[in-house]
Structure 1
Amino acid sequence: MSKNVRVRFAPSPTGPLHIGGVRTALFNYLFAKKHNGTFVLRIEDTDQNRYVEGAEQYIIDALNWCNIPFDEGPNKNEKFGPYRQSERKDLYKDYAEQLIASGNAYYAFDTAESLDAHRKDHEANGKTFIYNWHNRLKLSNSLSLSQEEVKAKLDNGDDYVIRFKSPQDQTLHLKDIIRGDIKIDTNILDDKVLFKSDGMPTYHLANIVDDHLMEISHVIRGEEWLPSLALHMQLYTAFGWDAPEFAHLPLILKPTGKGKLSKRDGDKLGFPVFPLEYTSPNGDVSKGYKEEGYFADAVINFLSFLGWNPGTEQEIFSLEELIAAFDLSRVNKAGARFDPDKTKWFNHHYMQEQNNDELAEAFKNNHDELKDIDVNYIAMVVNLVKERATFVNDFWDLSSFFFVAPESFDEKASKKAFKDETKELMTTLVSIISNIEEFEVETLQKEIKGWITGNEIGFGKVMMPLRLALVGALQGPDVFDIIYMIGKAETIKRIEKVISVL
């Protein structure tokens, strides 16, 4: 690209970062890294009424856990700082007044009560009230009042907002990288508030000013901001600034495919919608992908497919591969359905690639039953069972018999495995195992299988009751691996328990 790529992720610190926000951050990050650009974090906290203590740090922690850290932002490489809009508020009024001076904006003194009365009057006549060219001269603003009246109100300290003056009878031709060419009739646009009576800018003004001053080259944001594109492009024109390129990402939809994914969907169906666990100011705890046992690489991989398609059959991508493959031209317009089962599929894949020693440490830390067991032994167990695991929390159910003998035998399996000849076969098996000196998997296999085939015994007649003795159910990894792991004495002890109940 001809100009330096600079993108920004600009969340509001009003609570935890939803995975939709993480997806937006990810696509910005991938685009920046693909083009050797800069990924900026800007905190858009102009709405102080909704500000939540700790939310900014949560956003930073979430990006870091996902391995998509920002290059510039609060307290980091502050080339264009400050990066919190609340710390930039002195900038915005000057820009709002520039627009008034150029005739692109005006003071509006309407009270909330008078605007509400106008809305109700329009509704009573079957109309929709829009504050724009239709009626702005009938309202209380610097376009309808004399200069003397306006000056008096300002000198008197009357409350006011600054509104953008939307043009009449024009067609805007807008361009979006994902959605193509868009036409907008300016007659349907309202005169949006740019500056509020509390001395703070609205999102629209602060967003445009900051993107310009921070030299943002591409604005990659959610579809919900598409209706704002017309105003934002008009603001760039009004200021005489070059606009960045825009790309509006598709919504992430509920698992049903109908409607935008929400926290309520996660609560209802039992999956997280936040990257990290979050405790709200009132004490409510929301699940996080990290705490639920998902790997950051898996989260990034499945989020990348929510709205983007590489154009190949490949589904597993490292972060480096995503950077190389990512292209905004392959982002879909249509919403992307969130599939909880697919997220688990990704996590299962990444489970297989994890280091056994690290998984063993995590497994040990989660279970008091393992506190006195050598972590090297636990790692060997993990290696045998992780193929069937999706989360570290699955390990105990898959492997408890490696650490404690089963207390009972599955009733249905027992009826299938225990026959008239089982007691005699298990007694002989104890004798065979007792006499094996080289207690290795290969030797165990050779001796036990040799006895079965040599005596023309059906394998199921021996292997099913043997597995029940070792595991308590007809499941688990290879029987000979289990025997080797728990050792000769424990193996014999468990088989003898079966013999005692037959």
Structure 2
Amino acid sequence: MSNEVRVRFAPSPTGVLHIGGVRTALYNYLFAKKHGGKFILRIEDTDQTRFVEGAEQYIKDAMAWCGIQIDEGTDQGGEYAPYKQSERKDLYKKYAQQMINEGTAYYAFDTAEELDEMRETLKAAKANSLNYNSITRNTMKNSLTLSAEEVQERLDSGAPYVIRIKVPAKEDIRLNDMIRGWVNVHTSTMDDKVLMKSDGMPTYHLANVVDDYLMKITHVIRGEEWLPSAPLHVLLYRYLGWEASMPQFAHLPLLLKPDGNGKLSKREAAKHGFPIFPMEWKITEEDAALKGFKEEGYLSEAFVNFLALLGWNPGTENEIFSLEELIEAFTIERVSKAGAKFDIDKAIWFNQQYLRKMSPSALASLLIEQTKAAGIACDNNKAIAIAELLQERIDYTPELLSKGKYFFESPTEYVDKVVRKKWNETAEAVFNTFSTEIVDQSLQADDFQKKLEQAVEAHDTKVGMVMQILRVAITGEAGGPDLMKIMEVLGTNEVADRIKKATNAFEQTANNE
């Protein structure tokens, strides 16, 4: 590509960032970096009525967690600042006025009641469209139907108005989408969208076209939901004399529910109990927090890898990609037109793969953070040993502590089914001998194994007859990592104490039968 590639992610700070928005940002970022270009974060806050405190920072935090580096934005600055639309208000007025002067836009003074009345009239007449368009505008109060004197009088008196684009009556608007090919829309199906609202703020349509032009955006990569608006934006480029500089468009496929029936929604995620946002979102302490992939225990690298393959196919059998490898492999041409089914099991699989690849010391650092937050003491050596034992058994990072709780506290409950089946006089005798032989010693896993073999041999039984009940006594669980290595981490005295405590509990269970 001859010119520098410049793309933008332009979210509205109106609430939590949906996973679909994160994917849009990711694809923009991958495309820009693949071509040595720039990724711009622009905040489109023209709808002040829906502004939510904290939403803008949430967007930036989510980008940072995903490893998406912003080249230009509200924090980074840049040649085309400001990067927040509310701070660019005067720019939009200038171009809206240019269109008014050139006859491609007009003032509309209709009240909300008059607009409702128009729609009801059209509905009663069973009209094909209920929109303000090339036909209905001729019956409304606007600068096309009022005299120049009346229009000026209304403007001078401060009468509320909006500015609407004047869509031609009978014309084809065409654009060549990078994903979908040629898109053709007849203007008879379009309406005269509002460009400037009565509060003086631009709508998305005008603001994003003006900003994309002024910021020299070369490619607009956005969600499929904006495809119906694309012909309007093409028309705006034409009316403003910028057709030669119009960016290439690429409209991404929808993210679908797991069954493929309909768009993935917050309600669907809540129904199935999986996250749909990159990070937890909570406006106030009284609100129930919306689940985030980060807090649920997904590694950011795994999340990004999973997300990249929701709608894009690398064309190989490989599924595991680092962010750098995604940049190298990504092409818009391999983005699907069809919607992508959201598969939480696949997300879990990706997380498992990345957890397996981590070094025990990196996992240990995560465990130390968790124990510190829980007020539990855990040194680095112990954390590494635990990480090595649990690495193949966890799906999420919080499971380092939840599945390894027996490393930090003696069990208070035991698997009743195992106790009733395996606890007997022989097991008790082996317990007593084993605990006596290990107390006050420093033993490794192999040493524990030898001591246990000696104890079972002394009581004429086999290790397999007591292994599960011994595991239950020490961990409270019927299965898990290598028991000898668990005992090595716990130490001999802690193991002996747990055996004694469990013996008393098991005897009580037996006596109650």
Give TM-score scaled by structure 2 length.
0.90
- Equivalent-residue separation in structure 2 for 1:496 and 1:279 (angstroms): 46
Tell me if the contact between 2:452 and 2:463 (Cα under 8 Å) persists in the aligned partners: no
Match of 2:369 in 1: 362
Asked whether the 8 Å contact 2:438–2:493 carries over to 1, the reply is no
| Offset of residue 378 of structure 1 | 2.8
CA contact (8 A) 1:398 1:476 kept: no
CA shift for structure 1 position 197? 2.1
Pair 1:405-2:410 in alignment: yes
Deviation at residue 400 of structure 1 after TM alignment: 2.5
**Which structure 1 segments of 5+ residues have no match?**
none
Partner of 1:258: 261
**Identity over the aligned pairs, expressed in percent?**
51
- Which residue matches 1:388? 393
Code of the residue aligned with 2:403 in structure 1: it is: L
Deviates more, 1:154-163 or 1:84-93: 154-163
Map of 1:286 onto structure 2:
290
Structure 1: which amino acid aligns with 2:494? E
184-193 or 205-214, which moves further after superposition?
Answer: 184-193
SS at match of 1:219: strand
Report the equivalent of 2:510: none
The 3-state SS of whatever aligns with 1:268 is helix
Taking the aligned partners of 1:358 and 1:77, their CA distance within structure 2 comes to 34
In 2, distance between residues paired with 1:283 and 1:473? 37
Describe how 1:81-160 pairs up with structure 2 within 5 A.
Answer: 81-127=81-127, 128-160=129-161
**Residues in 1 aligned to 2:433 and 2:156: alpha-carbon distance in whole angstroms:** 104
Q: 1:139-288 residue pairs with structure 2 within 5 A?
A: 139-241=140-242, 242-280=245-283, 283-284=286-287, 285-288=289-292
Question: Which residue type is aligned with residue 220 of structure 2?
Answer: V
CA distance in 2, matches of 1:428, 1:379: 31
Mean Cα deviation higher: 131-140 or 182-191:
131-140
Deviation at 1:248, TM superposition (A): 0.8
Aligned-partner Cα distance in 2 for 1:456–1:314: 54
Alpha-carbon spacing, 1:491–1:115, altered in 2? closer, same or farther (3 Å): closer
Which deviates further from its counterpart, 255-264 or 209-218? 255-264
Residue 306 of structure 2 corresponds to residue 320 of structure 1: no
Q: 1:278 to 1:154 in 2, by over 3 A?
A: same
Equivalence map 1:61-76=2 (5 Å): 61-76=61-76
Give the total of aligned pairs.
499
> 1:132-178 CA deviation, whole Å, 9 max, x = no partner?
22232222222223333333333333322221111222222221111
Deviation at 1:79, TM superposition (A): 0.9
The more displaced of 63-72 and 449-458 is 449-458
1:18–1:275 CA contact under 8 A, matched in 2: yes
Rounded to whole Å, the distance in 2 between the matches of 1:83 and 1:109 is 31
C-alpha distance in structure 2 between counterparts of 1:254 and 1:497, whole Å: 50
Residue of structure 2 in register with 1:79 after alignment: 79
* SS, match of residue 278 in structure 1: coil
Cα 1:40–1:404 change in 2 (3 A) is same
What's the CA shift string for 1:31-84, capped at 9, x where partnerless? 111111100011111111111222212211221122113110113132101111
Pair 1:421–1:170, CA change in 2 (3 A): same
Q: Compute the displacement of 1:12 (Å).
A: 0.9
Equivalent residues of 1:413, 1:473 under 8 A apart = no
CA offsets 1:392-446 (integer angstroms, 9 cap, x no match): 33233422222333334311112333355333444454466569x7722234445
Change (3 A) 1:97 1:434: closer
The structure-2 alpha-carbon separation of the partners of 1:229 and 1:422, relative to structure 1 and needing over 3 Å to count, comes to: same
Q: Is 1:221–1:249's contact at 8 Å kept on the other side of the alignment? A: yes
Return closer, same or farther for 1:46/1:438 CA change in 2, 3 Å cut-off: closer
Once the two structures are TM-superposed, the CA of residue 283 in structure 1 deviates from its matched residue by 4.0
RMSD between superposed Cα atoms in Å = 2.5
Residue 107 of structure 1: SS of its match in structure 2? strand
Q: For 1:385 and 1:254, locate their aligned partners in 2 and report how far apart those are by CA, in whole Å.
A: 32
Whole-Å separation in 1 of the counterparts to 2:490 and 2:198: 74
CA contact (8 A) 1:13 1:52 kept: yes
Q: What is the aligned partner in structure 2 of residue 33 from structure 1? A: 33
* Preserved contact between residue 194 and residue 202 of structure 1 (Cα < 8 Å): yes
User: In structure 1, the residue corresponding to 2:404 is in which secondary structure?
Assistant: helix
CA-CA distance at 1:216 after TM superposition:
0.1
Instruction: Find the counterpart in structure 1 of residue 511 from structure 2.
Output: none
Contact 1:106 1:165 in 2 (8 A): yes
What residue identity is the alignment partner of 2:292?
Answer: G
Whether contact under 8 Å (2:442, 2:491) holds in the other structure is: no
Greater Cα offset, 236-245 or 450-459? 450-459
User: Does the 8 A contact of 1:176 with 1:245 survive in 2?
Assistant: yes
Q: Return closer, same or farther for 1:69/1:166 CA change in 2, 3 Å cut-off.
A: same
111 and 498 in structure 1: CA distance in 2 versus 1, 3 angstrom threshold:
closer
1:415 matched to 2:416? The reply is no
**Structure 2 CA distance for partners of 1:470 and 1:76, relative to 1, 3 Å:** same
